[in-house]
Amino acid sequence: MTQDTPKGRPLDAELTARVLAAVRADLDEFGFMNLRIEKIAADLGCGKTAIYRRWPTKPALAAAAILDGFALGEMPDTGDLVDDLVAHAWQNVDNVRGSRTHGNGLLLAMFDMDVMPLISEAFMQKRHAMGRAILARGVDRGQLRSDLDHDVILDTLAGFTLFTLTQRADDPPRSDAEMLRTYRSLVRALVGRTT
């Protein structure tokens, strides 16, 4: 599969995939500040212009590499607000787990001041909108009070996921079943459900 550049020239999908993989490896090992497009091009045996045709800036390249493999996922609709929010949060778990490497360079690059807005626009805002739609549906179904702050609920779940999988990943390691129970308890508390 190829993509077209703004001038209509097709891009080589295999080279695109290799560039993104090389960028992820370099971000992980050396960090965003030390990411050099010239080095990536030399390592892959392509010209810098082949990279710049795809991503016009270093932050755009880093954002694309980080998000490569992330999935927006489907908006769950089980009929139950708690189940839907747990499933929505678990999609974030899968994305974070899929992006984990041996270092923390990708995570640090994600929060770079020039990279974060690109990731937010391309991915996080869409995930947040899905979460807001789940919560609005819960209000319509009478499963959630309308006066609760939807952004606080979603931000709490996202923050919990990030903290749990990055700061406490091995302290102690928890099974998926344990994590799902924790998510279910957290969601119930956030939406004011006791059962």
Using one digit for the tens of pLDDT, what is the confidence trace for 87-111?
999 999 988 887 765 567 888 898 9
Q: What is the pLDDT of residue 80?
A: 96
Find the distance separating the first CA and the last CA of the chain, reported in whole Å: 48
pLDDT at residue number 10 = 59
Question: Residue type for 99, please?
Answer: S
Q: Please tell me the least confidently modeled range out of 7-11, 57-61, 112-116.
A: 7-11
Mean local confidence (pLDDT), 3-15:
66
% of residues, the chain, pLDDT over 90: 72
Res. 194: pLDDT tops 80? no
Task: Give the percent of the chain with pLDDT over 70.
Answer: 88
Per-residue model confidence as pLDDT tens digits over 24-48 = 999 989 999 999 999 999 999 999 9
Give me the pLDDT at residue 130, please. 97
Residue range 2-9: average pLDDT?
A: 50
pLDDT digits 0-9 by tens, 160-176 = 998 888 776 566 667 89
Predicted confidence at residue 105, as pLDDT, reads 80
Kindly tell me if the per-residue pLDDT of 1 is higher than 70.
no
Q: Which of 150, 24, 169, 172 is nearest to 88 (CA)?
A: 150
**Exposure string (b/e) for 132-151, b if CB count within 10 Å is 16 or more?**
eebbebbeeeebbeeeeebe
Token output for 19: 């560039």
